[in-house]
Amino acid sequence: MIIVLLGPPGAGKGTQGERIAERLGIPKIATGDVLRDAIRNGTEQGLAAKAYMDRGDLVPDSVILGIMKDALSAPATARGAILDGVVRTVPQAEGLTSLVASLGRKVDKVLLFDIGDDELVKRLSGRTVCDKCQTPYRDREPGTTCPKCGGTLVRRPDDEPEAIRTRLAVYRAQTEPVIKWAREHDLDVREIDATGDLDDITDRAMKALDK
C-alpha cells in the first residue's frame, strides 16, 4: 500500500509516518533521506542531484522523481511505502501518480494531517534546541540551560513565529491545492485530526487506513 502524507509544517507527519510505518511493517520514505542516500551511493540520479546542489540550485522535480522511482522499485518497498514530504506541489503530485502508475502500482491513500494555524505556531515556537549538544526540547524557554550538558537552549530561526507564518503561507499557496487536485483525481484522501496525544493520532491514522 502506497500512502502519501500531507499536512502543514509542524503537523507531526514525520513522527506519525514513522509510527504508521512501524505498525504496517513498511518503510517510510522522506525526500531528504532518499536524496542523501542516492548521493552517498553515487547513483545516476544522486550524481545529478549533487550537481544541482553544488551549484546552490534546487534539485528539480524530474531528478527527485527519478530517485523516488529507484526507491519504489526496490525490494524494500514491494509491500508498500509511506511517502513523507514527497508531494508539496500539484506538479509533484502529477509526477508521482504517473510514476507510481508506470510501476503498475497506485497511491492507495492520502493522509491529511489537519491542525489549526494557532496550534501550529504554539507547537513550533515551543521547540528549542541546545546550542551545544543539539538535543531538541519541547516547552522549554529559549535562554534556559540544557539539563544534559549545561549548554543554552535556543530557538531555530525557522521556528520563530514570524518564520512559521511564512512557512504556513507557502504551504497554503503550494500544498493546499494538492488536496483539491487529489480529490478531483479520485485519490482516497482521509483527514486526520492531528491535535492531542501522539498515540491517539496514530490510532486515528490507522483507522483512516482501515487497519
Active-site amino acid positions: 13, 88, 127, 156, 167
Residue whose CB is less far from Zn ion, 43 or 135? 135
Residue 191 CA: distances (Å) to CA of 4, 196, 201: 12, 15, 11
Shortest distance in whole angstroms from residue 5 CB to Zn ion: 30
What would the grid cell of residue 206 be? Answer: 490507522
Return the residue matching grid coordinates 492507495.
Answer: 108
Q: 93: which residues sit within 8 A by CB, 6+ positions away?
A: 87, 178, 181, 182
Residue whose CB is less far from Zn ion, 2 or 130? 130
Residue whose CB is less far from Zn ion, 44 or 131? 131
Could you give phi then psi for residue 79, rounded to 5 degrees? -90, -10
Residue 149 CB neighbours (<10 A): 12
Residues in contact with Zn ion by CB under 5 A are: 130, 132-133, 146, 148-149, 151
Residue whose CB is less far from Zn ion, 38 or 146? 146
Residue whose CB is less far from Zn ion, 71 or 146? 146
Task: Please report the beta strands in 116-158, taking only residues with DSSP state E, as ranges in sequence order.
Answer: 127-130, 136-138, 153-154
Question: In residues, how long is the chain?
Answer: 211
Task: Please report the beta strands in the chain, taking only residues with DSSP state E, as ranges in sequence order.
Answer: 2-6, 28-30, 81-84, 107-114, 127-130, 136-138, 153-154, 189-193
Shortest distance in whole angstroms from residue 149 CB to Zn ion: 3
What would the grid cell of residue 95 be? Answer: 509526477
Shortest distance in whole angstroms from residue 153 CB to Zn ion: 8
Shortest distance in whole angstroms from residue 73 CB to Zn ion: 41
Shortest distance in whole angstroms from residue 154 CB to Zn ion: 11
